[in-house]
A and B are shown apart, each in its own frame.
Chain A
Amino acid sequence: MSLSLDEVRHIAKLARLELAAGDAEATQAKLNGIFGLIEEMQAVDTDGVEPMSHPQELAQRLRDDAVSETDRRAAFQAVAPQTEAGLYLVPKVIE
């Protein structure tokens, strides 16, 4: 399996990455290198092996349902580019 240039551009768009002229080709080559690796792995016989979602054979630890955080808005908003009335301001988004 290999990616077309259009697919590379599509993925870049989804990831909000701007590819400069010529970057798409270089990225395509790198990504296809990774796909080469995946193809090698897919050739391995995995019949009877349970798929894993995490490299560690552990279970998620859970925390009790209790409020442990206090209001630190002032500290967080001190480093935000723009705030008003307690809100973070971002460039206009309309659905």
Chain B
Amino acid sequence: MSRTDWEVVIGLEIHTQLNTQSKIFSGASTAFGAEPNAQACAVDIALPGVLPVLNKGAVERAIRFGLAIGATVAPKSIFARKNYFYPDLPKGYQISQYELPVVQGGQITLQVPDGKGGAYEKVVNLTRAHLEEDAGKSLHEDFHGMTGIDLNRAGTPLLEIVSEPDMRSSAEAVAYAKALHALVRWIDICDGNMQEGSFRCDANVSVRPRGQAEFGTRREIKNLNSFRFLQQAIDYEIQWQIDLIEDGGKVQQATVLFDADTGETRAMRSKEDAHDYRYFPDPDLLPLVISSEWIERVKGELPELPEALSARFQGEYGLSAYDATTLTASREVAQFYLDTVAAAGAANAKTCANWVMGELAGRLNKAELDITASPVSAAQLAGLVQRIADNTISNAIAKKVFEALWNKEGESADAIIEAQGLKQVTDTGAIEAIIDEVLAANQKSVEEFRAGKEKAFNALVGQCMKASKGKANPAQVNELLKKKLG
């Protein structure tokens, strides 16, 4: 029997903490890292008689998100109670949205790396995004056999973003999660801090024989808080399901946890009633009505979105789709790039892109610095790019100048080139003199080249560049060397 060709189906539910000052239904602070329960007020700890009052800032962020993904912002949406018992949920229910969520539909276009250095475009449709409150935290360390409860997080506003089951590989799921992560920071509704739990992913994964119309039975992997774990967990889960089915088993719907230490997913001890949430409209909250005027005002305040900017980078600057996506991964990177191009001139946009994504990104990464803290400013980088463009320095020397800028050895590329004598040698006579010297000292390579060994030519070019301390114009060296040997 031939092996079945399996198709993977993935949908993601992503909880984003909205970056409001206060909680969604109370005036307690949402700042991270406070003393336990110091930011849990009477509403958050569910003392009798308290009532929720909805935070306008949370609603506005939901509107912003809805507009950014081209969704319908519901003119009227409803809050519901999701009932379950857990000590970090003091009311015994979570206020969420069920039947009428605030954001309905929408889509995101992403670039998915194809594993061969390129990328392909993928559109992921969103089902909905709804407002809800976060729960508190349970600390299971030993408190004399008891569990400690910190309710500081209880009531923090969340926007739960639910995708359609549109993704067909872990790479697509990760690309989607990254695009969403970039977007929520771009429109400034979430700080995106995954370590602090501001952006948490649940992945619904199933497999089916390719060509089958119905979905397979899915398992939900909970609480993945890094892109790497998301990828690992999904890949493990896919293989686990395929192995199970090929061995004659059947996937049972379940909620599973990912163990980062073993790289495995395992089913949570089955809570038979876990999904019996008995949703009903919360009588404490009236319908949320959003006027078209409000939506229009928020629309007017939205920044240019990454998709639009990416299209502009491709159209105006001739960047590849992949480069444009990389440069619009965050607003800060995009701004740095825009500032660099503004100073260097649009004609140098491609070179600017290469430097921002290459040398600069590499150094920042190594130094674990954010681009906003870059030791090399956009203006300085632009100055460097201009000197490459007008042939004052070669690419190799430019790397030295960049290094010097990074180490604050000079105010500008020009100052460093001047002070360190790095100006490219373009004087034909000077270059010829160097070549003559090199040819005299490397007779062996010359003979090899004449005997048909192409590589010997490159070795000679290398020697010439070395002899000029990298300052000779490589194109001229090539040309003149060819002439002399020819």
Contacts and interface: CB of A to CB of B under 8 A. Distances in A.
Contacts, number: 128
A87 B54 contact: no
B139 interface: yes
B268 A14 contact: no
A28 B236 CA distance: 47
A63 B55 CA distance: 5
B32 to A, nearest CB: 14
Interface stretch (A30-38, A39-47, A67-75): A67-75
Contacts of B143: 84, 87, 89
A87 B150 contact: yes
B135 to A, nearest CB: 12
Q: Which of B37, B143, B278 has the most CB of A within 10 A?
A: B37
Nearest to A62: B56
Nearest to A58: B286
Given A88-B151, A89-B146, A93-B147, A65 B20 contact: yes
B228 interface: no
Contacts of B301: none
Q: Which of B145, B150, B286 has the most CB of A within 10 A?
A: B286
A16 B87 CA distance: 13
Contacts of B278: 14
Interface residues of A, number: 37
A24 B315 CA distance: 71
Interface in B343-360: none
B285 A87 contact: no
A62 B138 contact: no
Contact of A89 (B53, B86, B147, B151): B147
B40 interface: yes
A73 B34 CA distance: 12
Given A54-B283, A69-B29, A77-B37, A92 B146 contact: yes
Given A56-B286, A71-B38, A87-B36, A65 B58 contact: yes
A74 to B, nearest CB: 10
B27 to A, nearest CB: 3
A1 interface: no
B78 A86 contact: no
Contacts of A87: 36-37, 139, 143, 148-150
B224 interface: no
A53 B78 contact: yes
Contacts of B288: 59-60
Contacts of A88: 37, 87, 148-149, 151
B38 A13 contact: no
Contacts of A82: 146
Interface in B127-145: 138-140, 143-145
B22 A65 contact: yes
B287 interface: yes
B146 A60 contact: no
A20 interface: no
B35 A90 contact: no
Nearest to B59: A62
10 smallest CB-CB distances across A and B, nearest first, come from A65-B57, A68-B27, A87-B148, A86-B36, A59-B289, A62-B56, A53-B281, A69-B41, A60-B286, A88-B149
Given A53-B287, A63-B54, A65-B21, 12 more contacts: A54-B286, A60-B54, A65-B22, A65-B56, A67-B22, A69-B26, A69-B29, A84-B148, A87-B149, A87-B150, A92-B140, A93-B140
Interface of A: 10, 13-14, 16, 53-54, 56, 58-69, 71-73, 76-77, 82, 84-95
Interface of B: 20-22, 26-29, 35-42, 45, 47, 53-59, 78, 83, 85-87, 100, 138-140, 143-151, 268-269, 273, 276, 278, 281, 283, 285-289
17 contacts: A10-B273, A14-B276, A60-B285, A60-B289, A61-B54, A62-B59, A65-B57, A66-B22, A71-B39, A72-B42, A76-B42, A84-B143, A87-B139, A87-B150, A89-B149, A90-B147, A92-B140
